[in-house]
Amino acid sequence: MNALGNLLLVGAGGFLGSIARYGVTLALGAPADGAFPTATFIVNAVGSAAIGFLLGMSLDGPMASPAARLFLITGVLGGFTTFSAFGVETFMLLRRGDTGLAALYVVGTVLSSLAAVWLGFRGAQG
């Protein structure tokens, strides 16, 4: 596939992933001032598990197609997960003086995302 085709795959996937992320935020509600950012936390954990699973499927597996990886991993799941929202929400917690909650959010997000990638990868490997 050519560069334009790759860009379109990533863009189409990102569009779908971003809409899905927004849907989760609508379903769970945006965090109130000082509240734990549940929607972003869940999106990043679920997205990380899905990325791990698809990564496991793509390494010499049934989804070895570069186009499928671009669409699903870079596009859909790149648009679904959100590091920028994670940064903003952490900053807002710190700005309000909620250092403990901010630390819990940072550590919990990093650990759960790493664990989710590992679990997804292991699930794909059988």
Q: For 82-93, what is each residue's pLDDT tens digit?
A: 887 888 899 989
User: CA-CA distance, 113 to 126, in Å (whole number)?
Assistant: 20
23 is in an annotated binding site: no
End-to-end Cα separation, the chain, in angstroms = 30
Average confidence (pLDDT) over 62-77: 88
Q: For 15-43, what is each residue's pLDDT tens digit?
A: 999 999 999 999 998 887 778 999 999 99
User: CA-CA distance, 2 to 70, in Å (whole number)?
Assistant: 12
Q: For 85-126, what is each residue's pLDDT tens digit?
A: 888 899 989 999 999 999 999 999 999 999 999 999 999 987
81 is in an annotated binding site: yes
30: left (phi over 0), alpha (psi -120 to 50) or beta: beta
Q: If pLDDT is split at 50, 70 and 90, which confidence band does 60 have?
A: low
